[in-house]
Amino acid sequence: MGMGLSMESMAIAMPAVDGHPNRAGFRGVLTVVDVASDRSPSGARGHRVLLTRRAAEAAIPSLMGMGLDYSPALDRHDARRKIGVITRAEIVGRAIEVGGFLYARDFPEIVAEIGRPGRAEETVRASAAGLGMSYEITDALVEDIKASVWVLSRVTFTGAAVLRRDKAAYRSTWIELG
């Protein structure tokens, strides 16, 4: 019996505007499903978390049109500092892959940081900056609040952040221009 590949996908159709000065495309891995986080995300009271595939599949539509934010030190979320918008999200294997646009003219410093070339034969996603992503949620349903790893069986995505991978709950996340 063969194993099937499952993929859920959703996107917002954005009109093409060649050479738009305030749109730089990005793509990356926001998080992974059915895997416990490497560290506790903020808001989880010291608990690592595990986002179930079922919860992620149900929540994918809530990612559409949500903002991508950052803090100048790239060490935390700052929901009031929107640098872009998510227009595409899909689950590929265990990864939630996202894409969209950064506000390139408004935030040239973050576009330059994300666009720094990697070392040796590494791609931008493994750049010297080591940038990753982190999700923002609300309405989370935790299966057992006393467990050491909180299993999230329902969430609503409210946005995402770009930050250094060492500050992200999942170190396997990444972001690149393109």
Confidence of residue 8 (pLDDT cuts 50, 70, 90): low
Burial status of residue 49 (CB atoms within 10 A of its CB: 0-12, 13-18, 19 or more): buried
47-79: per-residue pLDDT in tens? 999 999 999 999 999 999 999 999 999 999 999
The better pLDDT of the pair 95, 124 is held by: 95
**pLDDT grade for 124, boundaries at 50, 70 and 90:** very low
Tokens of 140: 């989370």
Looking at per-residue pLDDT, the higher value among 117 and 124 belongs to 117
pLDDT (tens digit, 9 = 90+) per residue, 140-154?
999 999 999 999 999
Q: What are phi and psi of 62, to 5 degrees?
A: -75, -15
What average pLDDT is seen over the chain?
Answer: 89
Residues present in the chain in total: 178
